Chains A and B, each alone.
Chain A
Amino acid sequence: MLAPLGRILILASLFAAAAGAFIGFYAGRTRSAEGLKWARRFAYGYAAAIVAATLVMVYALLVHDFSVSYVAHVGSTQVPTWVTVVSLWSSLEGSILFWGLVLGAYITIATFFTRGKYEEYQPDAIGVWLACAAFFSFLIAGPANPFHTVLSPPLDGPGPNPLLQNHVLMAIHPPFLYLGYVGMTIPFGFACAALIKGRLGHNVLKPIRESLMLPWIFQSVAIMLGGWWAYEVLGWGGYWAWDPVENASLLPWLTATAALHSIMVVERRGILKGWTITLIQATFLLVILGTFMTRSGVFNSVHSFTQSAIGPTILGFLAAALLFTIGLLAFRIDKLEVEGRMEGAASREAMFLVNNLIFVLLTFTVLIGTVFPLIVEAVKGKQMSVGRPYFDSMTVPLGALLLFILGVGPALPWGRANAAQIKKALLPPLIGAIVFVAAGYAFGARTPWTLLTLAFGGYAAQVTLGQMFIPMLQRMKNGDSFGTAFVDGQLRRGRRRFGSYIVHASVVIVVIAIAISSSMRQQMELHFAKGQTLQAGGYDLTFVGVEERTEPHRLSTIGIFTIAKNGKQVARLEPRMNQYQMMREPIGSPDVHSTALRDVYISLSNIDAANETASITVFISPFIVWIWLAVIALALGALFALIPPRRPAVILSPSAATSKDPVPNDAAAETA
């Protein structure tokens, strides 16, 4: 019963999306208000159908209805309920259905919030959104169908991959990833609409910016969560391996970040429209590329879903999307670049250009490194690898350059500045640079790249804090108290800017934390007999003993360690080796003691329950937690910037000049 119901709902979603896309584009050509209304209705209809279908699947999972093929594939009566819920996205078909769910939610929100506005762009935007939705519904209806009926349903299923049951982040990381990825469809739709119309009006910049920012926040957190998960679970002490699928998630984030910056220049100066639109298009295309890379089986990755027939279909969609986008850009991009000029190379606008360049370079480098083995194999038939040594060598300098711009860019004023102004802007933050380098050196940092990162970071920190507090000091000079200056000036009126300062400050913290935690990491291999205590990095590690724990799906051999510092016990760690029924080799699971200053990370390499011995690898890395925390701060800062501003009483149209009432429409009240 559930399987056919699901199928019908999916087919309904496919119909609604396809019809709605058609109507949307038609309404765009004929400028029919009625057509737009219907396109919007079909958009809501699509969303309703796909949400319903997902609910059917979740229900089927929870009641363990093994007549539904996907449930038979990943369901199990032996696993906890939360694992049953997350198995919705644990395997290929379910993950595409989840994609549809998130897309449906985004289309609903975007359609709702654009009601009565941007009528010039709406029809085409909806057309694009629904065309993408139709593709994914087609996938779910056809090649990736989770709703096949199983003719003789089994009594129980195998459950999702045991590696995915290890950690609660399985419940958080994928949803954030999808919310980040799928969400890029919305700004893509707006960008296409702008190109189709041949206009990028000032009014449509706001929805583009906001629909770009929200998924960007999710992406940032998702990437951080992925790193954190790898760190907590995989046991090699690192959080980023330059694995092809990891790279795939990074690429759209890079172009989206560039687009978010570039759009500011469009807002202020009316220039760089073409570049901004191209970056937005690239973001969406990279999302599709990413989903291809994860699901096609072409790339060797820890994250790949199993190979399936879905690869060629997604490649087809990617090719079509590329052709469509390139065609649009080629024929329309020149219509966008209208007026506006740049005043000089030493201006903030110019820095945005350089910023764009660096992000594009980073994107290019990561992309080329990831696909190069494929190119070589196609051309020469030879197999080669591109691993961390390459990526690190390329991205570390570029990252340092970005940090440099993060300081110098906001320091420079907009427009032409004379030498004196430039000096006044650029010289004082050098103090911050020196302070950070000195502090880092005192802490023990010695590597040249780390010290350089500290210098740039200190510079940027001073610039950011200066920009945050100097206007406040100004207000305080005029009589306001600190509280008023802060709450009114920053939190009420300057949300977008205050949010951006938080984001920049967080980036500085993340980059410095990454630099220090990598270059100052200590790694040791220790062998213990029961009860033995050994020294590691200022801590005393004692191997207390072995414990074996049997769970329904795995047998865990746990090594119990206590950590003491200066005689006082600080933590008890339980790294373990998990033997899953389905896998031949046991999978190790580390344990970490995190403090603000450093992490003590223990990974079991060998444990003998009979002889009560254990061999471990210990990693002691400073400042790791700051990487996770700073990204969360970044997300909060960006979210804060998204809160709509209060509508101030600004009188703008000449006819309203005599009245004291604010003009309550978009054109008047759009400020930050």
Chain B
Amino acid sequence: MNRTVLFVGLLIAAVLVAILFLGLGKDPSEIRSPLIGKPAPSFALREVGTGRTVDVTQFKGKPMVINFWATWCAPCWEEHPVLVANARMLQPDVQFLGVVFQDKEDKILGFLNERGTSYPTVVDEAGKTAIAYGVGGVPETFFLDANGVIRAKYAGPMSPDILRENLQKAMKQ
């Protein structure tokens, strides 16, 4: 019996199968954010409709929920009522902010007028804010604590439970 072949072969096989097994069940397209625990990039963008500038630093002192979305994204439609209701409930202790990119202003206005809103929505020209936040797709929601540090990120449509869970992380600080 050739011990080298046996040993080397079993080693390679074991490592390979183990890695592939661990890979199963993970979603390779889900990217984890490196910004957690770091200060949120600051930005000041134009609010849709009113045209006034909303600066994210003006909300320092309260926890924030920043939601990146767009009108063409189906899950964003699903989560919108959840966000609106929660924003209304949690005001003025928690500040909600919506950021739209890769979209047209008239479409955004139409959407908001039709479905209502309870918090400011700003437009991210050229998606630069999205890039700074490491946004890969929509919807993605960031939870900031009162000091402006990102405590959680969730990619996907918001549900009341997910919102609560992540907000707790932000409120702990």
Give A residues with C-beta under 8 Å from B.
289, 292, 296-300, 307, 311-312, 315, 318-319, 322-323, 325-327, 329-331, 333-334, 371, 374-375, 377-378, 383, 584
Contact = CB atoms under 8 A, between A and B. Distances in A.
Q: Which of B1, B6, B28 is packed against the most chain A CB atoms within 10 Å?
A: B28
A326 B17 CA distance: 14
- Rank and list the top 8 A-B pairs by shortest CB-CB distance, nearest first: A326-B9, A330-B6, A298-B23, A300-B28, A322-B13, A378-B22, A330-B5, A374-B23
A378 B5 contact: no
A330 B11 CA distance: 13
A322 B32 CA distance: 33
Contact of B5 (A300, A319, A333): A333
A439 B24 CA distance: 51
A329 B5 contact: yes
Contacts of B5: 326, 329-330, 333
Contacts of B10: 326
Contact of A371 (B9, B19, B28, B31): B19
A377 B23 contact: yes
A327 B1 CA distance: 9
A318 B21 CA distance: 11
A215 to B, nearest CB: 23
A330 B22 CA distance: 27
B17 A315 contact: yes
B24 A383 contact: no
Interface in B1-59: 1-3, 5-6, 9-10, 13, 16-24, 26-29, 31-32
Given A329-B9, A330-B2, A298 B20 contact: yes
Interface string B71-93: 01000000000000000000000
A307 B20 CA distance: 14
Given A312-B24, A315-B17, 16 more contacts: A296-B24, A298-B28, A299-B23, A312-B21, A315-B21, A318-B17, A322-B9, A322-B17, A325-B9, A326-B5, A326-B9, A330-B2, A334-B2, A371-B16, A377-B23, A377-B26
Contact of A296 (B19, B20, B29, B72): B20
Nearest to B32: A383
Interface residues of B, number: 24
Tell me the interface secondary structure of chain B in the complex.
helix
30 contacts: A289-B16, A296-B23, A296-B24, A297-B24, A297-B27, A298-B23, A298-B26, A299-B28, A307-B27, A315-B17, A315-B20, A315-B24, A322-B9, A322-B17, A323-B13, A326-B10, A329-B9, A330-B1, A330-B2, A330-B5, A330-B6, A331-B2, A333-B2, A334-B1, A371-B16, A371-B20, A374-B20, A374-B22, A377-B26, A383-B31
A384 to B, nearest CB: 11
A319 B16 CA distance: 9
A377 B3 CA distance: 31
Contacts of A330: 1-3, 5-6, 9
A357 to B, nearest CB: 16
Contacts of A329: 2, 5, 9
A374 B17 CA distance: 11
A297 B5 CA distance: 31
Given A296-B24, A297-B28, A378 B19 contact: yes
Contacts of A298: 20, 23-24, 26, 28
Contacts of B20: 292, 296, 298, 315, 318, 371, 374
A136 B96 CA distance: 53
Interface string B132-172: 00000000000000000000000000000000000000000
A311 B6 CA distance: 27
